[in-house]
């Protein structure tokens, strides 16, 4: 980004991030551990679940989160104060092919100032993802969202056979540096979802799990027990404790992890499986949850009681 006026002049910041930076006043019970920014010049995507789809710039929301807008220079100054308030900056972006070069420039600006940067982009932008990773972006998030080919067409309005192979290739080319976002509750069975996670992890990717949030007025979040099984599988598979060939599915449900119940409880007892998944230091407080409601992704360590309940939900059928 050249010297002179900041480009872009304004950028959106998650409400929780704004509180930590002192740009808003208020309290929060689970502050974000990553600085979440949103750069959206008018998204070309038509995702059924997103309030900012089809170029909607009127809303301040993305999922359940409000993203107020501030001068970019003010945000950079607040992020740069020593000691730096965040160890990582995560920039969410709207899909706009016309602004890819600008995104490269903005990312370089952060990298040159020694921010650890993650950038979340559209699954059609795997070539851009490779450029970002090559220039020093630490991690790239890819919003695949739907696990199955049919649900991908239904909710993303795109061809799965074009986007998914490119995402797999990106994971293979940059192992350990690509988080693929998947949303439970879009109509995929547990079996479809788990097999998709497994294939992506086989390719070198990791999974950032989300629960469907009905912000556009229709649909329901996934049942907590089903979501717990997906969380548990991701965690156990990531740590090499389970294999897909030993899993048992019945009518699309995961009915056996391939491990004895006592071993499962021991491996899940620390509650880490049920924490927010994503890049390092990502906790996304209340991204999918209402305060006081079901805590799909815990943004903090679980209590012993919370961990016991989550494990019992994962093992209930």
Report the pLDDT value the prediction gives residue 4, as an integer from 0 to 100.
53
In order, the DSSP letters of 261-307 are HHHHHHHHTTSGGGB--SSTT---TTSS--TTS--SSBSSPPPHHHH
Report the pLDDT value the prediction gives residue 216, as an integer from 0 to 100.
65
Report the pLDDT value the prediction gives residue 290, as an integer from 0 to 100.
80
Q: At what angle do helices 261-268 and 304-314 cross, to 10 degrees?
A: 140
Which whole number is the average pLDDT over 25-49?
91
Report the pLDDT value the prediction gives residue 174, as an integer from 0 to 100.
98
Report the pLDDT value the prediction gives residue 218, as an integer from 0 to 100.
67
Q: Is the pLDDT of residue 140 over 90?
A: yes
Q: Is the pLDDT of residue 58 over 80?
A: no
Report the pLDDT value the prediction gives residue 2, as an integer from 0 to 100.
44
Please tell me the distance from the alpha carbon of residue 45 to that of residue 101, in angstroms, as a whole number: 18
Tell me the sheet residues that pair with 256: 248
Q: pLDDT band for position 3 (50/70/90)?
A: low
Residue pair 119/137 in contact by the 8 Å Cβ criterion: yes
Please tell me the distance from the alpha carbon of residue 78 to that of residue 76, in angstroms, as a whole number: 5
Count CA atoms closer than 13 A to 124's CA, side-chain side: 13
> Which of 280 and 18 is assigned the larger pLDDT?
18
Please tell me the distance from the alpha carbon of residue 91 to that of residue 102, in angstroms, as a whole number: 13
Q: Is the pLDDT of residue 59 over 80?
A: no
Please tell me the distance from the alpha carbon of residue 240 to that of residue 234, in angstroms, as a whole number: 10
Report how far apart the first and last C-alpha atoms of the chain are (Å, whole number): 54
Residue pair 192/148 in contact by the 8 Å Cβ criterion: yes
Report the pLDDT value the prediction gives residue 215, as an integer from 0 to 100.
72
Q: Is the pLDDT of residue 158 over 70?
A: yes
Percent of the chain with pLDDT over 70: 96
In order of 88, 99, 110, 174, the CA distances from 104 in angstroms are 18, 9, 10, 18
Round the average pLDDT of the chain to a whole number and report it. Answer: 93
Tell me the sheet residues that pair with 211: 184
Q: Find, among 213, 201, 199, the residue nearest to 47 by Cα.
A: 213
User: 188-236 pLDDT, tens per residue?
Assistant: 999 999 999 999 999 999 999 999 988 766 678 999 999 999 999 999 9
Report the pLDDT value the prediction gives residue 90, as an integer from 0 to 100.
97
- Core vs surface per residue 151-181: b (16+ CB within 10 A) or e: bbeebbebebeebbebbbebbeebeebbbbb
Report the pLDDT value the prediction gives residue 219, as an integer from 0 to 100.
75
Please tell me the distance from the alpha carbon of residue 42 to that of residue 54, in angstroms, as a whole number: 8
Most confident region among 3-7, 50-54, 114-118 by mean pLDDT: 114-118
Q: For residue 204, is it left (φ>0), alpha (ψ between -120 and 50) or beta?
A: left
> Which of 46 and 58 is assigned the larger pLDDT?
46
- Angle at 90 (CA atoms; ends 89, 92), nearest 5 degrees: 145
Which whole number is the average pLDDT over 80-96?
94
Which whole number is the average pLDDT over 122-127?
97
Residue pair 59/40 in contact by the 8 Å Cβ criterion: no
Report the pLDDT value the prediction gives residue 1, as an integer from 0 to 100.
44
Please tell me the distance from the alpha carbon of residue 17 to that of residue 125, in angstroms, as a whole number: 27
Of 54-58, 73-77, 154-158, 186-190, the least confident:
54-58
Q: Is the pLDDT of residue 157 over 80?
A: yes
């Amino acid at each position: 980004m050249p010297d002179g006026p900041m480009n872009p002049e304004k950028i959106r910041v998650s409400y929780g991030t704004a509180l930590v930076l002192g740009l808003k006043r208020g309290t929060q019970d689970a502050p974000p551990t990553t600085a979440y920014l949103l750069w959206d010049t008018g998204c070309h995507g038509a995702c059924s679940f997103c309030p900012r789809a089809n170029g909607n710039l009127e809303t301040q929301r993305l999922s359940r989160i409000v993203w107020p807008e501030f001068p970019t220079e003010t945000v950079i100054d607040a992020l740069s104060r020593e000691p730096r308030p965040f160890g990582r900056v995560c920039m969410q972006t709207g899909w706009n092919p016309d602004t890819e070069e600008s995104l490269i420039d903005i990312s370089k600006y952060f990298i040159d100032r020694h921010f650890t940067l993650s950038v979340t982009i559209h699954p059609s932008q795997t070539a851009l993802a490779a450029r970002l990773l090559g220039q020093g972006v630490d991690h790239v998030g890819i919003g695949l969202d739907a696990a199955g080919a049919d649900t991908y067409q239904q909710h993303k309005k795109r061809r799965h056979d074009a986007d998914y192979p490119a995402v797999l290739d990106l994971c293979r080319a940059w192992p350990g540096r690509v988080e693929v976002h998947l949303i439970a509750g879009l109509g995929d069975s547990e079996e479809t979802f788990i097999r998709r996670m497994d294939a992506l992890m086989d390719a070198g990717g990791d999974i950032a799990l989300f629960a469907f949030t009905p912000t556009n007025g229709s649909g329901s979040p996934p049942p907590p027990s089903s979501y717990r099984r997906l969380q548990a599988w991701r965690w156990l598979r990531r740590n090499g404790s389970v294999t897909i060939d030993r899993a048992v599915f019945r009518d699309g449900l995961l009915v056996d992890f391939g491990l004895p119940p006592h071993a499962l409880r021991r491996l899940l007892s620390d509650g880490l499986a049920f924490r927010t998944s994503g890049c390092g230091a990502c906790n996304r407080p209340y991204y999918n949850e209402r305060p006081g409601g079901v805590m799909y992704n815990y943004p903090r360590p679980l209590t012993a009681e919370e961990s016991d309940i989550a494990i019992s939900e994962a093992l209930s059928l």
